[in-house]
Structures are given as C-alpha cells and as structure tokens.
Amino acid sequence: MPFQEIQKFEEIGRVPTSFADNLSTEPTLHEVCTFHDPTISEYNLYGKLHVDAKEQSGNGPQEVQLTKLHREIYMLKTKLEVVSATIETKENQITELESVLNGSGILHEASVSTSPSLQNECGEMEIELQDLLKKKIEFEVEYVIVLRTAQRLSVATENQISPFEDQKQLALEQIQMLQKLKEAEHKAIVLKSQAEELKVSCKELVATEEILKTQNSLYAHTLYFTAQFILFLLVFVVFILRPRGSAVAPT
C-alpha cells in the first residue's frame, strides 16, 4: 500500500511532455514577469507590451496589429486553459491521495518507512504546483493586458476608419463633380462648335442674299435698257425709215 501511494505521488509530480514543451517555447514567461512582487510583474509586463505596441504601430497598419493581437490572445487563452486543466488535475489527485492516506492511516506508516523520499516527493510536487500557479497568474495577467491593448487598438482603428470613410465619400463626391464638370465642358464645346457652324451658315446666307440682290438689280436694269432700246428702234423705224410718198398731180 505505501508503494502504491508513493507511485501516486510520482504521477502527480510528473508534468506532461506536451505541456512542458509548450511552456518552454514561450520565452516571455521568465523574461517578462517575476512573481516575487505581482504589482511589479504586471507593471513590467505592461511596459513591455506597451513598447511592443508602439513599435508595431510604427511598423505597420493597425489592422495587421489588431490581427496579431487577436492571434496572441487566442494563444494565451489556450495556454491558460491548459495550465488550469493541469492544475485542476493535480489538485484532484492531491485531494484523492490525501483522502486515501487519511482514511487508511497509511500517512504515518509512509512517513516512518520512507520518510525522506516521501518528503522529497511532496516538496517537489508542491514546488511544481506553485510554478503552475505562477504560470497561470502570468498567463492571466498577460491575457488581460493584451486584451485591453487589443480593445484600445480596435477603438483607435474605428476612430480612424470613420474619418477615412468620410474622406472616401468626399473623394467620391469630388470625382462625381469632376465628371459632371467634364460632361458640361464637353456639352459647352459641342454647343460652341454648333454656334460657329450656325454663324458660318448665316454669313453664307447673307452673302447669297447679296448676290441675289445684285443679280435682280442687274436683271432689272438689263430689262429696262432692253425695253428702251426696242422702243428706240420702233421710233427709228416708224419715223425715220418710213418711205416718203410721191406727190399727187392735180387733175
């Protein structure tokens, strides 16, 4: 029976390989936060994230930053769930082990027979549990700070999108006005060309009218002189070219 209980302690002390690898791939756990003073840890973490946010704001659009923050929030939430599940599992195992030890009276026997090894196992298990709790607190703090940063960035993006939409609408209206002005200018050019054509046509009509008047005047004068010439010929024939009659001899 003591051997089985010691095996349970060993199982509790083991950390899953996937979980340990997942934690070891996160460099910010030990570089950013120290848990001797939670206030200082949160302040340091917030400062680092704030500087990272400033650097990101200078390097790319806010939409890209917001997408990265949402991805980071999802990763932190997943790690937080894994840590919480591991802590809950170990707490359940500890509770079960304590109930078994207290119910069967083996705690005294185990402490007498294998006191050093059991105490070492308990100490290691307690240290690992404290480390898990610290990591959980760290993930929670980082999750909250990143979430707040994402919210602030989302609000700032919305505030920038609104003037951008107004500017876009204004630009569209200006483009429409320019198109209308171009259409009006085209119509004005067409009307101007038509007016010039009408002006040329009017000049041609005036010239034609002057020619017709000259022709009519010429025809009238020609007819008048022709009539005068004919009358002159008639008078000449009648009065001048008429033959003289012979004198009548008296009888």
3-state secondary structure 57-122: HHHCCHHHHHHHHHHHHHHHHHHHHHHHHHHHHHHHHHHHHHHHHHHHCHHHHHHHHCHHHHHHHH
Our separate counts of H helices and E strands in the chain read: 7, 0
The whole-angstrom separation of Cα 148 and Cα 137 is 17
Quote the pLDDT of residue 218.
94
Between 23 and 238, the more confident residue is 238
Quote the pLDDT of residue 138.
81
The two structure tokens encoding residue 237: 């024939």
The reply to whether the predicted model has a pTM over 0.85 is no
The whole-angstrom separation of Cα 161 and Cα 155 is 10
- Overall average pLDDT of the 98-109 stretch: 57
Q: Residue type at 235?
A: V
Question: Under a CB-based contact definition with an 8 Å cutoff, are residues 49 and 146 in contact?
Answer: yes
Between 175 and 143, the more confident residue is 175
Question: Where do the domains of the chain lie?
Answer: 2-169
pLDDT category of residue 150 using cuts at 50, 70 and 90: confident
Reported as a single tens digit per residue, the pLDDT across 22-56 is 444 443 333 333 333 333 344 344 444 444 444 44
Nearest to 11 by CA among 121, 147, 85, 172: 121
**Residue 106 pLDDT > 90:** no
The whole-angstrom separation of Cα 24 and Cα 35 is 17
Residue 75 CB-density burial (10 A; 0-12 exposed, 13-18 middle, 19+ buried): middle
Question: Under a CB-based contact definition with an 8 Å cutoff, are residues 141 and 42 in contact?
Answer: yes
The whole-angstrom separation of Cα 188 and Cα 68 is 55
Q: How far is CA 171 from each of CA 166, 175, 181, 183, 218, rounded to the nearest angstrom? A: 8, 6, 15, 18, 70
Between 64 and 107, the more confident residue is 64
**Residue 197 pLDDT > 60:** yes
Q: Give the range among 8-17, 172-181, 199-208, 210-219 with minimum mean pLDDT.
A: 8-17
Quote the pLDDT of residue 58.
44
Largest alpha-carbon pair distance within the chain? 214
The whole-angstrom separation of Cα 182 and Cα 176 is 10
